[in-house]
């Protein structure tokens, strides 16, 4: 088996071997990277029908007794033919790998070698021996299959297979290869990079057990190969078990300065370098980040650049990939069992290839960076998890580990990598009735348990196929001990089984801090179209959420996300889109004014920059989270200007125009109590979003006037500013009473109505969100 990282680090601080050598030898080896887009996005009628390279590629029954011996022998022959073709492809790859080895070995004897002879031997360790071993296995298997499939003039093809099926013996070939055979490579027309070729033997060794299992399932117990294949399978499983035990024992490595190195976590990330993206296996140690090259954490800057976006070309590419995934998934569902194993294996293989492309090109969250390269993660929870994992690292660590430590470290990393694969959902997904397919709605209400006031937001992510966006984030709350959002997030999901939440504290000019995280199992039996409220424990924070689920078939993903503008849109439409009673733009602006504008002289009277106000208006129409983030940094007079602009641009005033005359008549009532009763009767006849938003604004303006000694804004001043925006004369009535009511009289009535409401000391409370909780008591989830 090919071994990587057996020598000391190279002069530029990167690991020798397949992880970092491709750039070093770029001048010697020219191998273009060709992504399998053409192969993926076209039908492969001429491709191999079966592949034993994956657990889901050949779905044979669990025991041989489920098929007749003739059917088992026929399938066995198909699997062996695919293995033969796979070996032929792999031998060509090994030959391609030996070409740069010869060039590098020749340059090692020059005055300016690319690599030393020892490094060449380390990088290409036992590659010639591996090639010879597989050549011997390929020749033996080909000879036996050729003899078996040689046509007999006296027998038909089916009769020939039945006649000679028990005579085809290959178990001794597999036993001879033992665990060194590394069977299983994709039959593909793709050209590989030098780096990918170096990893090929490591990728193959992990799949040997699956290949042997496929062959054993198709071998009758009476066949003389059965016992031999059982022994080979036992040896294979024993080897993999030993790798797991060995990797566990290697997780702690003693550093030269007396500290103890431990493996914190490992997984797959995307590496962006020189405009190219590659999938990398990441290993995070207490002082080292290792994935293709190593970065000493003492000099590593961990950051999170949130709300990154793809370019239009990248978005179109991702839409094409997601659409292809959706169609392949639908085909697998519709034709399950109707077109045979060959069709299912080919479709699933395509799905895996497309999903791997999506995993490579979709991430936008930067988790770690160096001058020439970045580590990009697919979601904000994963990015924040990586960042949070780096909190205990100290700055006193050495900038480079010593060679003996590195040797032990990389040995453990190679063994870990052998036992894991990229997280493809199409590989691990199980068709389960409990998984969700449809629309999942998550309402994030509030949080409690903070030790000190903070601006907090919540990241929500679901699993399943990545046809649609799988994650969303609330806007950041105001600086508070009890943050609240009442924000509804919606997900289109397919085969979703788990919901993950991450609560993050946002500090101005500083790194965000993870306050807690948790996961919730999604149960189709308990979730329905009625809201279900529950409280989740996320470390030091308790977050209250509500969930509901509507099952339905999914449509293909759209090319662009639907925009839900809020300005110049009727308030009932905005509140329905947001799942609230008071629009978020109103709540966020009012909260921000109360946070830092109550002491501002002339608040709401002095206008902010019109360009800044229009910029915030545009952002609110496209991205609520981005708008709230900008709102937190904007001048407070700009914030107050955005709130006034929202009410001015409502197509219909907040108090419907048909209520104007009724309110005007109420003002004529001399008795104060009777007048208020009449006015509140008119208010209660308004639609719920209008009524609750109006009450919310009244309470807000009352709190502003409480600081009138400082801000000089009395109730009359505020009524004068907001009256014309909140209440208007009906357009249809202008021609009817226009001669008897001029503009000055109308303005006076508008101001008097709002002033009368503001003078009320017992205003009803505004309901800001819809009643998501349908149960009598909240459900508390302890995780």
pLDDT band at 439 (very low <50, low <70, confident <90, very high): very high
Higher pLDDT, 574 or 2: 574
- Three-state secondary-structure class, residue 124: coil
466-509 pLDDT per residue, tens: 888 788 899 999 888 999 999 999 999 998 989 999 999 887 65
Higher pLDDT, 642 or 742: 642
Higher pLDDT, 696 or 426: 696
Q: Work out the average pLDDT over 620-645.
A: 93
Cα gap 608→194, rounded to integer Å:
59
- The CA-atom distances, in angstroms, between 196 and each of 10, 21, 193, 322 are 20, 11, 5, 25
Q: Work out the average pLDDT over 306-323.
A: 76
For residue 758, pLDDT over 60 is answered with yes
pLDDT at 177: 72
Considering 76-85, 179-188, 588-597, the range whose residues carry the highest mean pLDDT is 588-597
Give the percent of the chain with pLDDT over 90: 30
For residue 775, pLDDT over 60 is answered with no
For residue 429, pLDDT over 60 is answered with no
Q: Work out the average pLDDT over 694-719.
A: 96
Higher pLDDT, 156 or 720: 720
Burial label for 460, CB within 10 Å (0-12, 13-18, 19+), is buried
Token representation of residue 42: 């076209």
pLDDT band at 398 (very low <50, low <70, confident <90, very high): very low
pLDDT at 644: 96
Cα gap 759→749, rounded to integer Å:
15
pLDDT band at 298 (very low <50, low <70, confident <90, very high): low
Higher pLDDT, 738 or 698: 698
Poorest-pLDDT segment among 108-122, 244-258, 502-516:
244-258
Higher pLDDT, 750 or 96: 750
What fold, for 67-241? Answer: Dbl Homology Domain; Chain A (1.20.900)
Cα gap 193→387, rounded to integer Å:
31
pLDDT band at 4 (very low <50, low <70, confident <90, very high): very low
Higher pLDDT, 126 or 621: 621
Higher pLDDT, 742 or 163: 742
Cα gap 195→23, rounded to integer Å:
9
Poorest-pLDDT segment among 221-225, 281-285, 504-508, 702-706:
281-285
Higher pLDDT, 388 or 64: 388
Closest Cα to residue 720, out of 592, 636, 604, 638? 604
pLDDT at 24: 31
With respect to CATH, is domain 255-426 assigned 2.30.29?
A: yes
Distant-in-sequence, close-in-space partners of 768: CB < 8 Å, separation ≥ 6: 486, 580, 581, 582, 587, 692, 696
pLDDT band at 71 (very low <50, low <70, confident <90, very high): confident
Q: Per-residue DSSP letters for 361-391?
A: HS--EEEEEETTEEEEESSHHHHHHHHHHTT
Cβ(570)–Cβ(650) below 8 Å: yes
Higher pLDDT, 307 or 338: 338
Considering 127-136, 513-522, 680-689, the range whose residues carry the highest mean pLDDT is 680-689
For residue 567, pLDDT over 80 is answered with yes
Mean pLDDT (the chain, rounded): 75
Cα gap 320→465, rounded to integer Å:
15
Cα gap 359→616, rounded to integer Å:
33
Domain ranges of the chain: 67-241, 255-426, 432-556, 581-649, 651-767
- Full-prediction pTM beyond 0.85? no
Report the top-level CATH class of 432-556: mainly beta
Higher pLDDT, 529 or 311: 529
Poorest-pLDDT segment among 48-52, 595-599, 668-672, 733-737:
48-52
Q: Work out the average pLDDT over 420-428.
A: 69
Cα gap 1→317, rounded to integer Å:
37
Determine phi and psi for 127, rounding to 5 degrees.
Answer: -60, -45
Poorest-pLDDT segment among 18-27, 107-116, 383-392:
18-27
Cβ(399)–Cβ(298) below 8 Å: yes
pLDDT at 66: 44
pLDDT at 108: 84
Beta strands in 371-470 (DSSP E): 373-377, 436-448, 455-462
For residue 347, pLDDT over 90 is answered with no
pLDDT band at 53 (very low <50, low <70, confident <90, very high): very low
646-667 pLDDT per residue, tens: 999 999 999 999 999 999 999 9
Burial label for 738, CB within 10 Å (0-12, 13-18, 19+), is exposed
For residue 52, pLDDT over 60 is answered with no
For residue 625, pLDDT over 80 is answered with yes
Higher pLDDT, 242 or 475: 475
442-475 pLDDT per residue, tens: 999 999 999 889 899 999 999 888 888 788 899 9
Cβ(463)–Cβ(480) below 8 Å: no
What fold, for 651-767? Answer: Phosphatidylinositol 3-kinase; Chain A (1.10.555)
186: enclosing H helix or E strand? none
pLDDT at 112: 81
């Amino acid at each position: 088996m090919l071994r990587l990282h057996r020598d000391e680090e190279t002069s530029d601080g990167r690991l020798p071997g397949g992880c970092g050598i491709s750039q070093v030898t770029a001048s010697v080896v020219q191998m273009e990277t060709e992504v399998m887009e053409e192969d993926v996005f076209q039908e492969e009628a001429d491709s191999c029908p079966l592949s034993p390279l994956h657990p889901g590629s050949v779905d044979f029954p669990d025991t041989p007794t489920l098929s007749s011996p003739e059917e088992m022998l026929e399938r066995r022959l198909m699997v062996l033919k695919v293995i033969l073709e796979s070996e032929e492809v792999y031998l060509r790859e090994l030959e391609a790998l030996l070409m740069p080895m010869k060039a590098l070995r020749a340059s090692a004897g020059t005055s300016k070698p690319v690599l030393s002879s020892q490094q060449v031997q380390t990088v290409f360790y036992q590659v010639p021996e591996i090639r010879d071993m597989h050549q011997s296995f390929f020749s033996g298997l080909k000879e036996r299959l050729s003899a078996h499939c040689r046509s007999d003039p006296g027998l038909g093809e089916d009769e020939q297979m039945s006649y000679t099926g028990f005579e085809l013996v290959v178990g001794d070939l597999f036993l001879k290869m033992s665990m060194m055979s590394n069977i299983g490579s994709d039959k593909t027309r793709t050209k590989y990079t030098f780096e990918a070729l170096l990893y090929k033997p490591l990728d193959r060794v992990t799949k040997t057990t699956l290949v042997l299992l496929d062959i054993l399932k198709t071998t009758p117990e009476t066949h003389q190969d059965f016992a031999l294949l059982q022994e080979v399978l036992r040896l294979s499983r024993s080897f993999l078990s030993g790798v797991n035990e060995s990797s566990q024992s290697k997780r702690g490595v003693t550093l030269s300065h007396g500290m103890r190195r431990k493996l914190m976590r490992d997984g797959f990330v995307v590496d962006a370098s020189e405009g190219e993206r590659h999938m990398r296996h990441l290993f995070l140690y207490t002082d080292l980040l290792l994935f293709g090259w190593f970065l000493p954490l003492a000099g590593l800057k961990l950051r999170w650049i949130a709300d990154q976006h793809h370019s239009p070309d990248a978005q179109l590419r991702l839409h094409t990939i997601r659409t292809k995934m959706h169609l392949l998934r639908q085909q697998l569902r519709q034709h399950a069992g109707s077109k045979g194993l060959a069709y299912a294996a080919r479709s699933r293989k395509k799905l895996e290839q497309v999903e791997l492309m999506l995993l490579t090109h979709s991430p936008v969250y930067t988790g770690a960076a160096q001058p020439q390269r970045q580590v990009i993660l697919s979601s904000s929870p994963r990015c924040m998890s990586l960042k949070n994992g780096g909190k205990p690292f100290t700055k006193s660590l050495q900038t480079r580990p010593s060679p003996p430590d590195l040797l032990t470290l990389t040995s453990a990393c190679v063994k870990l990598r052998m036992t894991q694969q990229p997280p493809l959902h199409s590989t691990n997904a199980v068709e389960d009735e409990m998984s969700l397919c449809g629309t999942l709605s998550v309402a994030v209400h509030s949080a409690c348990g903070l030790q000190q006031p903070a601006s907090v937001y919540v990241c929500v992510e679901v699993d399943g196929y990545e046809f649609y966006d799988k994650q969303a984030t609330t806007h950041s709350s105001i600086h508070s001990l009890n943050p609240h959002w009442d924000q509804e997030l919606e997900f289109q999901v397919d085969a979703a089984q788990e919901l993950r939440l991450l609560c993050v504290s946002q500090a101005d000019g500083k790194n965000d801090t993870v306050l807690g995280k948790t996961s919730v199992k999604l149960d189709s039996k308990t979730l329905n179209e009625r809201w279900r409220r529950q409280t989740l424990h996320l470390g030091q924070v308790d977050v209250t959420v509500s969930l509901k689920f509507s099952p339905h078939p999914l449509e293909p993903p759209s090319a662009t996300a639907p925009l839900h503008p809020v300005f110049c849109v009727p308030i009932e439409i905005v509140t329905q889109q947001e799942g609230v009673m008071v629009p978020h733009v109103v709540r966020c602006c009012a909260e921000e004014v109360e946070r830092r504008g109550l002491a501002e002289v002339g608040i709401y009277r002095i206008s902010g920059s019109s360009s800044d106000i229009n910029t915030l208006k545009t952002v609110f129409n496209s991205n609520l989270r981005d708008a709230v983030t900008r709102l937190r940094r904007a001048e407070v007079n700009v914030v107050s200007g955005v709130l006034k602009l929202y009410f001015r641009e409502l197509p219909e005033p907040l108090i419907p125009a048909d209520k104007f005359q009724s309110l005007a008549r109420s003002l004529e009532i001399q008795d104060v109590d009777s007048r208020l009763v009449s006015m509140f009767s008119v208010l209660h006849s308004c639609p719920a979003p209008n009524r609750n938003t109006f009450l919310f604004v009244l309470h807000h303006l009352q709190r502003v006037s409480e600081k009138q000694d400082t801000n000089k804004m009395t109730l009359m001043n505020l009524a004068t500013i907001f009256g014309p925006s909140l209440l208007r004369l009906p357009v249809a009535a202008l021609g009817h009473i226009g001669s008897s009511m001029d503009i000055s009289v109308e303005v006076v009535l508008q101001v008097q109505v709002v002033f009368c409401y503001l003078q009320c000391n017992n205003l009803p409370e505004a309901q800001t969100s819809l009643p998501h909780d349908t149960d009598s008591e909240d459900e508390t989830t302890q995780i």
